[in-house]
Amino acid sequence: MTLPGYEAQRIEAMQWAYSVKKQSDYDTVVLDADLTQSHPIREVSIGQITKELRSDRETIGKGHEYATSVREVARDTRFTRAFDGSSDILGWLFAFGCGKVQSTQQGATTAYLHKFTLFDPAVEATSQLPVTTVVEQITSAAALKRALMSMAVTGITVSAEGFEHLSVSADFIGSGQAVASTLSMPELVAASYLSSNAATITLGDAAEDITTRIRSWSVALANNPKEGRGYFPSSGLYRGRLEVGARTVIPSLVVDLSADSDLLDDFLANTEIALDILCEGDVISGSYKHSIRFVFPDLQYQAVLIEEDEGMLTYALSFDENTVLYDSGSADPPVKVEVVNTVPAYLEASA
């Protein structure tokens, strides 16, 4: 049998590396010595480098309607990745997605508590999202092993159906610049996965435990960056900044309907409520476990819909950007995200 003159490449051969450290500035790649992390990917999209082109097709005077020349104006890089939710990947994503972290070692153990909050541009004196470098080895060919520079986390969705593992999806946007890499790819992290079957969820003005009523839940962070402002005089082909836009962090839940009308009453009365979602995993040491926690101190329902799921009645509890409220009396408005894992620190600058 005559074989084709090439070897088709399998997606399973793809590897990647990332860093818990941020770039020292928007244009400086993370050092290879700091690109020490890799994590299993559930659904992968390879980093796509695209170009904005301008041609003479619509100009008059050529005697025809066809393009005769084209020039490059700008480049862009982006990808979306989906993961099974571990404390490692969740910590990394929310560090870069929120932009501010306070990390504390838990006693004399290897457990660290990370408190992530949406950074305040007025306090931090910048609207720039923190960025890092991601290395992809798409095949064994050197030409397809590259460092994607200035990657920012622009969106994160964490969700769970019933008792299942947490599902995580994240969107990234970079500068458009990619450079060849000779990095020795790191081993996959020994991930500790989190599941909704070890969750505790409270809701309402009286913090009622509704854990056993939960059918599904999600939390979605969107940074809505100002993509177009990244290109400016002197920026050249590549994006030179990525500023945060009007951010949203929005939860949603589907819960079993109970014999009373508790949640519907809160909706109709415009009651301000709180939501607390805690998912725990394996023990790290003593009482410290791998975990993630979302705390929304001040919410109002946008909608409470009565629906059906497998023959049982449910409430679909919806919130939006108008009903996730900024609570000026809270230390962490409008949401607090906490992760416990064994990573000592995030967002330190790569030297």
Per-residue pLDDT band for 261 (boundaries 50, 70, 90) equals confident
Sheet with 199-204, strands from edge to edge, namely 99-105, 112-118, 336-341, 288-299, 273-285, 199-204, 208-209
Per-residue pLDDT band for 45 (boundaries 50, 70, 90) equals confident
For residues 200-224, average pLDDT: 93
Sequence-ordered alpha helix ranges (H) in the chain = 87-98, 121-124, 262-268
Per-residue pLDDT band for 136 (boundaries 50, 70, 90) equals very high
Spatial separation of the C-alpha atoms in residues 199 and 160, rounded to whole Å: 10
Going by C-alpha positions, the residue among 264, 270, 275 that lies closest to residue 206 is 275
Q: Cα–Cα–Cα angle for 120, 121, 127, nearest 5°?
A: 135
Spatial separation of the C-alpha atoms in residues 13 and 263, rounded to whole Å: 49
Which pLDDT score is estimated for 1? Answer: 61
Percentage of the chain beyond pLDDT 90 is 85
pLDDT tens by residue, 278-334? 999 999 999 999 999 999 999 999 999 999 989 999 999 999 999 999 977 776 679
Read out DSSP for 240-278? ---B--S-EEEEEEEEE--SS-HHHHHHHTT--EEEEEE
List Cα–Cα distances, 83 to 39, 93, 239, 297, in angstroms. Answer: 8, 11, 27, 28
Percentage of the chain beyond pLDDT 70 is 98
pLDDT score of 44 more than 80: no
